[in-house]
Amino acid sequence: MDQIELFRRLAVALAIGLLIGLERGWRTREEHDGARVAGLRTFALSGLLGGVSALIGQALGGVALAASLAAYAGALIWFSALEAQAENNLSVTGVVAGLATFMLGAYAVLGDQLVAVAAAVAMALLLALRDPLHEWVRRMTWIELRSTLVLLAMSFLLLPVLPNRAIDRWGALNPAEIWFFAILIAAVSFVGYVATKTLGEGRGLALAAIAGGLTSSTATTVTFARLVRENPESAPALARGAYLSGVTMLGRILVLVLMIEANLAPTVAPALAAGAGVLLAFGAPLLWRAPASDGAAPRLEMKNPFEIMPVLQIAVVISVVMILAKTLAGKAHAAGVYILAAASGVADVDALTLSMARVAGGDLTMRQAGLAILIAAGVNTVSKAVMAGAIAGPRFGLRMGGVSALALAAGGLAAVFTV
């Protein structure tokens, strides 16, 4: 290791300490000097100390690094115990953060600097988000905790042992891949679930619409249509909420494509963005309008997407769509794939999106896969307008249908030049 590299690695170790120290120092900024064990300077020095100790360990052997860590840990624990006794504070977070800072400083010198920095950023985020995380845990129900733990166990225990190969005659069913896709959809949906549970449905119609779009824009639109039937005066606001839910749905499609097959994104992104732009233009007034002027925010039925049965149902739907997509694509029946896309889009676009992203560039060209995804998104947009009209009446259906038609026209025009 030359001198320049040596200084660079020590600088990274110091930067890691400064990053953690910034959060720790800010949290204890109201305390006067000498009233806290470790702040900005102490954590910065801890990271640098870890880096220097690693260099000493390289020169004298690993025992020297271990001795440095033991001495540092002993001093930190001793002074933290004195502070805890004086303040009657039993938190051990500061001790763990100090030890982790020392170790990350050492690893920045001895190992992969990018990994060390990434771990430091993750640690700083965990420390900074203490209050929101504690509040989230307090509000979590036993059913939510149980469902999340079971799914995590099935993901990290079951996923590694599932066969990671096709097990059917068509080469379409890969158990590990299907289970991963099901978990992925549930995880994206969980973002909306957590947002609503954390921020509260009372924050307004716009939040409910956006969160609903992350779980199911179709279910959200149906819910809004039922509310229109009961509260006709709220039809304009509820229509804007449905538009925002559609924007979220189109963004969700793009996220799934990027996660599975990023090379497919340039094919579908322009059309999705054009359609989302139109919906956003008509739904945007809801974002800055006071909830009181639009009536009470709807109470959506937000079910935990990490329940086992919904995840299993998603896996079954993905399996069926994959078999049909693989069979039709293998026979070079692109028209059949488009029919499948239209049929799937009536109620849901996630399974079709994942299936097309999986076969894009193989059994189907990027153009064919991208067009199938756009067909599913378009049919889904039309079906929601039809459902809204059937539930809330022709007037609301025309309101939804008119904006949906403009969104389809914009997306179709963009697709002509990109797909």
State residue 292's pLDDT score.
44
More confident residue, 194 or 347: 347
Mean pLDDT of 65-84: 88
How far is residue 176's CA from residue 280's CA, in Å, rounded to a whole number?
A: 37
Q: Across 89-93, 294-298, 348-352, which has the greatest mean pLDDT? A: 348-352
User: Which residue has tokens 């079906």?
Assistant: 383
Dig out the tokens for 36 from the structure.
Answer: 């806290």
How far is residue 414's CA from residue 174's CA, in Å, rounded to a whole number?
A: 34
> For residue 291, is pLDDT > 50?
no
Phi-psi region of 59 (alpha: psi -120 to 50; beta: other; left: phi over 0): alpha
Nearest to 205 by CA among 290, 302, 277: 290
User: Which residue has tokens 């639109």?
Assistant: 221
Model-level pTM? 0.62
How far is residue 216's CA from residue 82's CA, in Å, rounded to a whole number?
A: 53
Alpha helices by DSSP H, 113-204: 113-128, 130-139, 142-153, 175-199
Mean pLDDT of 283-308: 59
Q: What are phi and psi of 360, to 5 degrees?
A: -65, 135
State residue 83's pLDDT score.
74
Percent of the chain with pLDDT over 70: 83
Least reliable range by pLDDT among 144-148, 201-205, 251-255, 305-309 = 201-205
User: Which residue has tokens 């989230």?
Assistant: 136
Residues 358, 359, 363: CA angle, nearest 5 degrees = 170
3-state secondary structure of 129: coil
State residue 15's pLDDT score.
94
18 within 8 A of 43, measured Cβ to Cβ: yes
CA distances from 205 to 36, 37, 132, 329 (A): 45, 46, 23, 42
State pLDDT tens for residues 85-136.
777 776 778 889 999 999 999 999 999 999 999 999 999 998 888 887 777 7
Dig out the tokens for 108 from the structure.
Answer: 């920045």
Dig out the tokens for 184 from the structure.
Answer: 């992925």
283 within 8 A of 244, measured Cβ to Cβ: yes
3-state secondary structure of 168: coil
Which residue(s) pair with 381 in the sheet? none
How far is residue 24's CA from residue 73's CA, in Å, rounded to a whole number?
A: 18
How far is residue 58's CA from residue 68's CA, in Å, rounded to a whole number?
A: 13
The per-residue DSSP string of 258-301 comes to HHH-GGGHHHHHHHHHHHHHHHHHHHTHHHHS-GGGG-SPP---
Q: What does the DSSP 8-state code read for residue 305?
A: T
State residue 188's pLDDT score.
58
State residue 70's pLDDT score.
94
State residue 204's pLDDT score.
60
Q: How far is CA 123 from the centre of its chain?
A: 19
User: Which residue has tokens 């109470």?
Assistant: 299
Dig out the tokens for 396 from the structure.
Answer: 């609301």
Exposed e or buried b per residue across 14-44, where buried means at least 16 C-beta atoms within 10 angstroms of its C-beta: bbbbbbbbbbbbebeeeeeeeebbbbbebbb
State pLDDT tens for residues 213-240.
877 788 788 878 888 887 888 888 889 9
